[in-house]
Amino acid sequence: MKKCSQCQNNLNYNCETCILRLSGKTLFYNVPSSLLQEIEHVDEHISINTKIYEENESNTYLYSITKGIVKLSITDASYKTRATSLLTAGMSFGLEVINKSSYLQNATSITPVKVCKIKLAREQINESKSLLENTLKKWQENITNQNQIIEKFSMGDTHTRIIRLFHYLKENSPLEEKNNFYLPRLEDISSIVNVSKENCSRALSKIKKMKEIILVDKKSKIYKT
């Protein structure tokens, strides 16, 4: 049994049986096993609220999400953190390492996350038609994701934005129980809906008071709608 390189827990997924991959959702869809054996990739568990990498950091890994939600963000000229994307299972981030570039954005887990950590050389992309096709599609998916955060979460009043975010989190939750989701930290909510922490805090208090979300697990900050 493979073990997570971080937490040493057993990992029971591999490329050959990965449902995400087989259903066409991941970077490695249709990539021949022979090539996958040449590409360094390792599964990893990441705890909630963990910085995976920082803007401008140099590294060689890109990531494919197996479970959970990752927030990408940048720091604007007034040193405010601004979320640029929310990514879910099947999506990739850190693709810029293929261009030998340092990371363009900060990546942070906003739920517990499982990822496949991949070292992919540009030359290897040429070796498989599917891998080239998937890589180009993943870049496009990242643009679409950046647009969605504008379309979905940064319009309407604060209450509307936060409720819309909670519905998204519930729909994409890694938790088995339907309607349950991890409540993000106030700073994450603020950076996603693009409203000050103070205003988000006020809106959140009202949402809790009106029982629009209900606490399920205090320790893990799991709520349900």
Which residue, 161, 169, 153, 187, is CA-closest to 81? Answer: 187
Give the N- to C-terminal CA distance of the chain in Å, as an integer: 37
Please answer whether residues 179 and 169 qualify as being in contact, where contact means their C-beta atoms are separated by less than 8 angstroms. Answer: no
Give the other-Cβ count within 10 Å of 149's Cβ. Answer: 21
Q: How far is CA 96 from CA 52, 76, 101, 114, 211, in A?
A: 15, 20, 5, 20, 42
Cβ nearer to a second copy, comparing 13 with 139: 139
Q: Is 132 in the site for a second copy (CB under 8 A)?
A: yes
Shortest separation between residue 40's beta carbon and a second copy, angstroms: 19
Shortest separation between residue 190's beta carbon and a second copy, angstroms: 14
Q: Is 84 helix (H, G, I), strand (E, B) or coil?
A: strand
Of 36, 50, 96, 121, the one binding a second copy by CB under 8 A: 96
Q: Are strands 113-119 and 62-67 parallel, antiparallel or unpaired?
A: antiparallel
Q: Is 115 in the site for a second copy (CB under 8 A)?
A: no
Of 14, 126, 196, 205, the one binding a second copy by CB under 8 A: 126
Q: Is 95 in the site for a second copy (CB under 8 A)?
A: yes
Of 2, 3, 51, 129, the one binding a second copy by CB under 8 A: 129
Of 77, 209, 211, 218, the one binding a second copy by CB under 8 A: 77
User: Of 4-12, 111-119, 124-132, 170-178, which segment contacts a second copy by CB under 8 A?
Assistant: 124-132
Residue 62, beta-bridge partner list: 118
Q: What DSSP designation does 103 have? A: P
Q: Is 74 in the site for a second copy (CB under 8 A)?
A: yes
Which residue, 56, 63, 45, 69, is CA-closest to 188? Answer: 69
Per-residue interface string for the shown chain with a second copy, residues 11-50, x marking contact by CB under 8 A: ----------------------------------------
Q: Is 94 left (phi over 0), alpha (psi -120 to 50) or beta?
A: left
Shortest separation between residue 99's beta carbon and a second copy, angstroms: 5
Q: Which residues bind a second copy (CB under 8 A)?
A: 74, 76-78, 80, 82, 84, 95-96, 98-99, 101, 104-105, 122, 125-126, 129, 132-133, 135-137, 139-140, 142-144, 146-147, 150-152, 155-156
